Chain A
Amino acid sequence: MNIVDRQLPDKKSKNEVSLSAYTLLFSELIQYNQRKVTHIKELERRLADIGYSVGVRLLEYIAWKDKGDKYLKRETNTVRFLQFIAVTVWKLLFGKAATLERSMDKKEQFMITEDSTLVDKFISVPKDMQGLNCASLVGGLVEGLLDAAEFPARVSTHSVSVDTQKTPRTVILIEFNASVLAREQKYSL
């Protein structure tokens, strides 16, 4: 049967797998890539690349699931699209929204933050990989979404210790290309 003839999944049905299945897969992904790199940053890059290819393909699926037939108009406003990511996408993938923040001094800089990241919640980083930020996969996913929606940006994932909790918060830093801001200014109402 041709892929386009297959029935689309019921949009309302909650398509879920166990977090454990994802964690086990993710863990094996990390193990596999660890043997191919010499630095932790290289490993984070590889995880981000995986996340990127997920993000690029995810956009179409999510837009379909979220708006259905109303998805004909492509989102072009930066802040609205970031809200879409931090709220709609995050709720769909991880069950709850993240926080969107904007830099005070840099117009092109935004942050998506969350207290903990679901995909690496149960990943235990071995001692010889201390400092590895597995959430890099999610940062890559955000970059993929942004690229697919034509909001090119530099995206990096950071781990920030805070007093209020034991484990560090995840901060995904987004810095839009100048072209995005220029376009926004040109077409803003």
Chain B
Amino acid sequence: GMSRYNTNLQQVANNTWNKIDKINTELFTLTYGAIVVQLLKDFDSVDDVNNQLEKMGYNIGLRLIDEFLARSGLGRCRDLRETAEVIAKVGFKMFLGFAGTVLKMNAKKGSFHLVLEDNPLIDFVELPAQYKDTLIYNNILCGVIRGALEMVQMKVKCTVKKCPLKGHDVTQIKVVLIEHLTSEIPVGDEF
């Protein structure tokens, strides 16, 4: 059943986590924060910053998927539900150190939500008032998911639905499957 499958994924996640090289979270959090600040200086509009974060995430996702597949040893996912569970339980754990959960799984509509209770990107971060409503601080995660899934032939659209920096209790990202792709190699990095 589903819970046995989830336990297996948890084991895969923990085994992988134990094997890989690690680095201090604060360094990661602060480096990301510094990147966001740099983008806010470089671009005129916050919308442009949001887009740039997503693009950077996309480029990362294109590369990340290889490592993910190699390290986890997981094969092709059979359906969207499995894809969602694998991203949440194994993907997040392997890279961010914390597993997430899947909510609002809707196979018919081709959508699901990913929920992270702990998110290293936002530890100790507080958004200045001027950016609170406009900056999508977690948008890089949307890009990572989009890039990674494109490499396994899924075209998706991701949006951040909840973020603790805006007062919510969790980070929540909605993923919508637009279409399955034929084996086209993506043109390359987006700038």
Contacts and interface: CB of A to CB of B under 8 A. Distances in A.
Interface of A: 1, 3, 9, 15-22, 24-29, 31-32, 35-36, 46, 49-51, 53-54, 57-58, 61-62, 92-95, 118-119, 137
B27 A20 contact: no
B24 A15 contact: yes
B22 A18 contact: yes
- Cβ-closest 7 pairs across A and B: A15-B25, A19-B21, A16-B22, A54-B30, A21-B95, A53-B34, A50-B34
Nearest to B37: A53
Contacts of B32: 25
Contacts of B20: 18-20
Nearest to B167: A1
B28 A58 contact: no
Contacts of A118: 23
The interface centre, meaning the residue of A17, A22, A46, A93 with most chain B CB atoms within 10 A of its CB, is: A17
B60 interface: yes
A163 B120 CA distance: 40
Nearest to A16: B22
B23 A19 contact: yes
29 contacts: A1-B167, A3-B126, A15-B25, A15-B123, A16-B23, A16-B97, A17-B28, A17-B95, A20-B64, A22-B27, A24-B64, A25-B28, A25-B35, A25-B60, A26-B31, A27-B63, A28-B59, A36-B42, A46-B38, A49-B38, A50-B34, A53-B30, A54-B27, A54-B31, A61-B26, A93-B23, A93-B27, A118-B23, A119-B27
Interface of B is mostly: helix
A42 to B, nearest CB: 14
A109 B186 CA distance: 50
Interface residues of B, number: 38
A47 to B, nearest CB: 10
B94 interface: yes
A119 to B, nearest CB: 7
Contact of A57 (B24, B30, B59, B94): B30
B67 interface: yes
Contact of B60 (A16, A28, A92): A28
B140 to A, nearest CB: 8
B60 A18 contact: no
Interface string B115-153: 000001001101000000000000000000000000000
A16 B63 contact: no
A18 B21 contact: yes
Contacts of B26: 15, 58, 61-62, 93
Interface in B1-48: 17, 20-28, 30-35, 37-38, 42
Contact of A32 (B17, B56, B124): B56
A102 B172 CA distance: 50
Contacts of A36: 42
B95 A50 contact: no
B186 to A, nearest CB: 16
Contacts of A21: 28, 95-96
Contact of B95 (A9, A18, A35): A18
Given A20-B67, A25-B35, A54-B33, 12 more contacts: A15-B24, A15-B25, A16-B22, A16-B23, A17-B120, A22-B27, A29-B31, A50-B31, A54-B30, A58-B27, A119-B23, A119-B27
